[in-house]
Amino acid sequence: MATPTEAAEEYLGREFIITREFDAPRELVFQACTDPNHLAQWWGPKGFTNPVCEWDARPGGKIYVVMRAPNGTDYPMGGEIREVVPPERLVSVTGALDEAGALRFEILHTLTLAESEGRTKLTMHSRVIRVTPGADRYLGGFETGMTLSLERLGAHLARQTEPLVVERTFAAPVSLVWRALTTSEDLSRWSFEIKEFRPEVGCEFTFDAEKDGVKYEHLCRVTDVIPEKRLAYSWRYAGHAGDSLVTLDLLAEGEKTRVRLTHTGLESFGPAPDFSRANFTEGWTTLIGTCLKDFVEHGEAGRDLVLAREFDAPRELVWRALTEPEHVGHWWGPRGFTSTIEKMDLRPGGEWRHIMHGPDGVDYPNHSVFLEVTPPERLVYAHGGRREGGPEADFVATWTLDAVAPGKTKVTIRMVFPTVFARDQVVREYGAIAGGRQTLERLGEHLPAMQTAEGKA
């Protein structure tokens, strides 16, 4: 008769391969296999529930699930995520836990998903890589248990209703549309203010939206990113059941871009009127069909130029360097340039006239009008300038000063041009990007001199 150790070791190195095909898109199947809100609804044999389901689908993320049998017995399991390649591949290690919370065994799982014509083939390749005495009692039922779990996954996916799809074609290049979808600054101009958004898998972001006087906090997590081709993220609401997936696919068609938004899992939010399919249809149609379209075709997208730099100086000092003529003349313009400040009337409607003198002897007369003056935070002006004999350079500039730490200030310059062509012309003809960076560098070199002079005063 084999000892407990010998019986367990018989399973060491054993492999199990289970395949199943689902009538569901790969992104949805991947989400169901990685999102704890979905996993809790299908993990384990029929009749089991999962009162605890923690599944951090990131490399190194922890797994902790408590499966509860129909008779009330709990079966805790743990593990770790090893590799995540949305929506194609997931590698993890799991095993049952003993009374002390240690793994009784370890199984290395490699889950792969292949999509064909809207259907998804799932392949689960599992290999036993470590055992302890008595582990055979659990491993003997592994294949049956996993098969039953995948049966429940199939039933769970079948409950997902037809996804909501909104598709539009924009008269804008794909790079411009991608930027509008993935930069927090552009998002705030056509959608919602999402400061923490980054187009990186695993990025979690939130935003608030109001419906009929009720504010809903949206909780989202980026699940898939293919630059200029695909962006996907989970979508749920704080304090409400349900979870869904939003996928945006971009297809370049010459200088135009076709965008297809697919929102799956809407039925998981229940029958509440605010979560009705009609409301989602109306909302996405407005956002994609009107707001995004107007922004990339007629708005500021592609017409702006943004530069930023941090300085080791307090915000009040930086503000003075920006707005006092005796300081501006010391640093304004690219390297090799000097400036003559003719007038600087710092108030809304006030004029700012100055001439930049290039190292080659060419002058650049400039005339601006201040639109907003909010010391020491924000300065906005309408700029008009040119090189003698050269094209006009007209734009609205917004300088924002943020105190990022004691004694440190971040300066962000955003210039919005009347057209994309005008922006590109200024970049090409005047070297606006390099020149702007050099101007900020010169500001950084002038600030210590100001601090030294004021320290001696």
Cβ-based neighbours of 100, under 8 Å, separated by 6 or more = none
Query: 367-402: string of b/e by CB count within 10 Å (b at 16+)?
Result: ebbbeebeebeebbbebebbbeeeeebebbbbbebe
Closest by Cα among 39, 61, 35, 59 to 50? 39
Q: Which of 242, 241, 240, 197 is nearest to 221 (CA)?
A: 197
Tokens of 324: 């006092």
How large is the average pLDDT for residues 207-221?
87
**Which pLDDT does position 123 carry in this prediction?**
96
* pLDDT higher than threshold 90 for residue 116: no
Tokens of 314: 């307090």
Question: pTM score, two decimals?
Answer: 0.47
pLDDT of residue 457: 47
- Whether residues 80 and 107 share a domain: the answer is yes
Q: In this structure, what CATH number is given to the domain that contains residue 219?
A: 3.30.530.20
* Mean predicted confidence (pLDDT) in 407-431: 86
The string of pLDDT tens digits covering residues 336-373 is 999 999 999 999 999 999 999 999 999 999 999 999 99
Q: Per-residue confidence at 272, pLDDT binned at 50, 70, 90?
A: confident
How many Å apart are CA 107 and CA 132, to the nearest integer?
12
Task: Look at residue 386 and give its three-state secondary structure.
Answer: strand
Q: What is the mean pLDDT of residues 296-309?
A: 80
Can you tell me the mean pLDDT for 98-116?
Answer: 95
User: Is 168 in the same domain as 244?
Assistant: yes
Amino acid letter for position 336? G
Average pLDDT over residues 309-322: 96
In whole angstroms, give the CA distance from residue 285 to residue 271.
21
CA–CA dist 432, 414 (Å, integer): 12
Give the pLDDT of residue 160.
Answer: 65
85, 171: one domain: no
Note whether 339 and 273 are same-domain residues.
Answer: no
Burial class (CB in 10 A: 0-12, 13-18, 19+), 196: exposed
Please report which confidence band the pLDDT of residue 393 belongs to, taking 50, 70 and 90 as the band edges: confident
Which two tokens mark 198? 């980054």
Q: Which of 267-281, 292-306, 391-405 is modeled with the greatest confidence?
A: 391-405
**Per-residue pLDDT, 455:** 67
Rounded percentage of the chain residues whose pLDDT exceeds 70? 98
Q: Are residues 18 and 128 in the same domain?
A: yes
| Cα–Cα distance measured from residue 79 to residue 108, given in angstroms and rounded to the nearest whole number | 10
- C-alpha 244/C-alpha 268 separation (Å) is 7
In the chain, what percentage of residues exceed pLDDT 90? Answer: 63
Does residue 122 share a domain with residue 86? yes
* CA quadruple 265, 271, 276, 277: dihedral sign: positive
- Tell me, yes or no, whether 250 and 333 share the same domain: no
Find all residues with CB under 8 Å of 304, minimum gap 6, and list them: 414, 415, 416, 417, 423
Q: Which two tokens stand for residue 100?
A: 């002390």
Same domain as 439, residue 331: yes
pLDDT at position 419 is 74
Domain boundary among 158, 193, 218: 158
Do 98 and 170 share a domain, yes or no? Answer: no
Question: Rounded CA gap, 313 and 317, in Å?
Answer: 7
Q: Among 158, 174, 203, identify where a domain stops.
A: 158
- For residue 456, the model assigns a pLDDT of 53
Query: What confidence tier does 411 reach under pLDDT thresholds 50, 70, 90?
Result: very high
Q: Which two tokens stand for residue 172?
A: 């804008």
pLDDT exceeds 70 at position 82: yes
The arrangement of strands across the sheet holding 214-226 comes to: 164-170, 256-264, 244-253, 230-237, 214-226, 204-211
Q: What average pLDDT does the segment 63-89 reach?
A: 95
* More confident of the two residues 391 and 214: 214
362 and 447, same structural domain?
yes
Dist. CA 94–CA 77, nearest whole Å: 7
With CA atoms as reference, report the closest residue to 354 among 319, 378, 371, 330. Answer: 330
Residues 177 and 86 in one domain: no
Tokens coding 92: 């993890």
Average pLDDT in the chain:
90
**Domains of the chain: total:** 3
**3-state helix/strand/coil string of 121-177:** EEEEEEEEEEECCCCHHHHCCHHHHHHHHHHHHHHHHHCCCCCEEEEEEECCCHHHH
- Span 11-15, mean pLDDT? 93
What is the Cα gyration radius of the chain? 30
Last residue of a domain, one of 109, 124, 158: 158
- Residue 328: predicted pLDDT: 95
Domain identity same for 374 and 447: yes
Residue 375's identity, in one-letter code, is P
Compare 308 and 422 and report the one with higher pLDDT.
308
- Residue 213: give the domain boundaries: 164-297
DSSP secondary structure string for all residues of 199-251: SSTT-EEEEEEEETTEEEEEEEEEEEEETTTEEEEEEEETTS---EEEEEEEE
